[in-house]
Amino acid sequence: MARKRVAVLISGRGSNMRALIKAARTKNYPASIALVISNEPAAEGLALARKAGIPALAIDHRRYGKDREAFERAMQAELERHAIDLVCLAGFMRLLTPWFVGRWHGRLLNIHPALLPSFKGLDTHARALAAGVKIHGATVHFVVPEMDSGPIIAQAAVPVYETDTAETLAARVLKLEHRIYPLALKLVALGRVRVVDGRCVIAGSRPPKGALMVPQQS
């Protein structure tokens, strides 16, 4: 089966993008990272991607003023030009319109630094600490027009320690993000993820062991 061509959309440092690039270079990975787009021309991740030999473009949303769709049409043109099959949001800090989300229905993934549906939006680690939760984590999900709400593909959890600050917790969660995003993309690229009644069903997965709620390979 041909490897899926993936675009990663970023706005900043790009550590999840880097994890996807690294995974995609392993033997038999079913996807290749064919394009990186940042809405922030100064995003550190752009330089990282170029160093890895991947076409990396800045499409500055500010050039399009309030016209979100015009910005998205510019991205769409590049996605089409590079024959992209799947799009991964990785720290991409723009809300997407229903037009764009609709075009990529079932082919647009996001990673969120919390166990959805808890702690949608920003500052998830500080809010998790303030809420006193004992478990926190990360979620990879399909994108739907409503923010941080689509069907969940993979999640992983970490304990929250009494000594944690938002920074220490974020660092622990980020390590998990770098594990589950490549795994979730792999499952989607292999066609093993189906959405049934708004929930993901993963073909051939068996119940995960322990607290790490990552679908296991069978």
Q: Which residues make beta-bridge pairs with 31?
A: 4
Contact in structure between 218 and 204 (CB atoms under 8 Å)? yes
Pick the closest to residue 213 from 106, 88, 87, 116 (CA basis). Answer: 116
Tell the smallest beta-carbon distance from residue 132 to ligand GRF (Å).
21
In the list 30, 113, 137, 151, the residue contacting ligand GRF (rule: CB under 6 A) is 113
User: Total number of residues binding ligand GRF (CB under 6 A)?
Assistant: 14
In the list 6, 7, 16, 143, the residue contacting ligand GRF (rule: CB under 6 A) is 16
Q: Out of 112, 125, 136, 141, which one is annotated catalytic? A: 112
Site for ligand GRF in 138-177 (CB under 6 A): 174, 177
HSE-up of residue 218 (Cα within 13 Å, Cβ side)? 7
Active site residue 112: yes
Per-residue contact string for residues 73-102; x = within reach of ligand GRF by CB under 6 A:
-----------------xx-----------
Q: Running DSSP on this structure, what letter comes out for residue 6?
A: E
Using the rule CB under 6 A, is 14 a contact of ligand GRF? yes
The CA dihedral of 7, 9, 12, 13, to the nearest 10 degrees, is -30
Stretch that binds ligand GRF, among 8-16, 30-38, 52-60, 63-71 (CB under 6 A): 8-16
Tell the smallest beta-carbon distance from residue 36 to ligand GRF (Å).
11
Crossing angle between the packed helical segments 44-51 and 15-24, to the nearest 10 degrees: 20
In the list 111, 153, 185, 189, the residue contacting ligand GRF (rule: CB under 6 A) is 111
The CA dihedral of 23, 25, 27, 30, to the nearest 10 degrees, is 70
Q: Kindly list the residues in this chain that would bind ligand GRF in the complex (CB under 6 A).
A: 10, 12-17, 90-91, 111-113, 174, 177
